[in-house]
Amino acid sequence: MAQTSCPFLLMDHDQPSTHSDPHRQLQMARSMCWHCQSEVTGEYFCERCVKVQPVSKETDYFTCLGSPRRLTLDPKKLEAKFYELSRTFHPDFYQTKSTEEQTISLSNAAVLNTAYRTLRDPIQRAEYLLALETGSVKDIRTSPPADLFEEILELQDTLEEYRASDRGSDQSHRIRVTLQTEEEALERRKEEMESQLRRLFADWDKLQDAGEVTSAARAERDRILKQMRDLLSHRTYINNIINDLAATIN
Amino acid sequence: MAYSDKVVDHFNNPRNMGSFKKDEEGVGTGMVGAPECGDVMKLQIKVQNDTIVDAKFKTFGCGSAIASSSLATEWLKGKKIGEAQKIKNTDIVQELNLPPVKIHCSVLAEDAIKAALADYQKKADEQPVDVK
């Protein structure tokens, strides 16, 4: 995980400096310019020969967009950086350049788009950060929130009952009212989860800003990540059932 | 990406959809979910004399998740507890021809089987049935 910090600052002095295979050269370019083989110290361009450098596969989206690994980001700043880099890598500016440079700028633009789309959304941003910090968020767990599942399954049953019911009937109307009430309650729970998440985001950022490496800081980090993981997955379940409800009764 | 014919078949004609009463004797219930997609799966087995005599499922999720659990219930029926333990997600992947992005659905089904078996075992341990 540690090597996901800025790849252009990594110095792999031990890497052999010549390679006949151009693809190998591209992969290695995180430490050395693919063109002039000098050490790359700039963000996206070699300072010596001014050639564009490829975004390494190991570059995380935060680094890619020049942002610290924080969970409350200023959307305006993020957008500004995105536009700036989009211009930088825009294919139009590479029309007269070499094929290598065209390929690099195009793939950089693609990575940049994904990075921005991910970081722009607070939930996706948090899921992404969790994946960076702890490996996959998306592990399937066999110790699920049993009550929540019970509740969801029950709601899905009622939803099926409603789908099967004769729409004009009293019974259908009654079920619909029940489901509407449930939907509103779920919406409130989702909002509550989201405000809990926002508190955790703030806690995370505070921890990052403090930059301490004590065992207390370590414990706090683990607490935040664990709670965030649970909340994010609960939120996905709740969100799914809300969508199902909305699609059926509204 | 297209679903394989077998997935489509299970999706259109799910086998053993439904549920048993949770507290019914010999019934084990497994409930699992995939936070990735928010899929929720409930799989139940009914056991008599160490043999799974019936199995039911309810899955709210994508076609592959439904097909995986439908197939799982088919395979479970008639199996001894020990044999059921051996069902692997890779068997499901193979049978249904699941693409890599849908492998987690088969993992979910395997987890559901394991959870149902564990629940059955737990209930059996708590209320020992008279051995004749």
**Terminal alpha carbon distance of chain B:** 54
User: What is the C-alpha separation between B38 and B108, in angstroms, rounded?
Assistant: 11
Could you list the residue range(s) of the whole structural domain that residue A29 is in? Answer: 22-120
- Domain locations along chain B: 5-122
Q: Which residues of A touch B31 (CB under 8 A)?
A: 144, 146, 149-150, 153
* Same domain, yes or no: A146 and A244: yes
Q: Which residues pair with A52 in a beta bridge?
A: A45
Q: A11 with A70: CB under 8 angstroms?
A: no
| Of A24 and A189, more confident | A189
pLDDT at A41: 67
pLDDT at A150: 87
Q: B87 with B72: CB under 8 angstroms?
A: yes
pLDDT at A7: 36
Model confidence pLDDT, tens digit, residues A50-101: 788 888 777 899 999 999 999 999 999 999 999 999 999 888 888 898 998 8
CB-based contact A142 B114, cutoff 8 Å? yes
Q: Does domain B5-122 have CATH number 3.90.1010.10?
A: yes
Model confidence pLDDT, tens digit, residues B32-82: 988 878 899 999 999 999 999 999 999 998 899 999 999 999 999 999 999
CB-based contact B42 A153, cutoff 8 Å? yes
- In the block, residue with structure tokens 């390679």: A19
Q: How many domains does chain A have?
A: 2
Q: What is the phi/psi pair of residue B34, to 5°?
A: -115, 110
| Of B126 and B41, more confident | B41
Q: Which residues of B touch A239 (CB under 8 A)?
A: 38
CATH of the domain at A56: 1.10.287.110
A27 in a structural domain: yes
CB-based contact A138 B35, cutoff 8 Å? yes
Question: Any idea which residues of B carry the catalytic annotation?
Answer: 37, 105
Say what the pTM is.
0.76
Burial environment of residue A73 by CB neighbours within 10 A (0 to 12, 13 to 18, 19 or more):
buried
Q: Among A71-75, A198-202, A246-250, B10-14, which is the least confidently predicted range?
A: A246-250
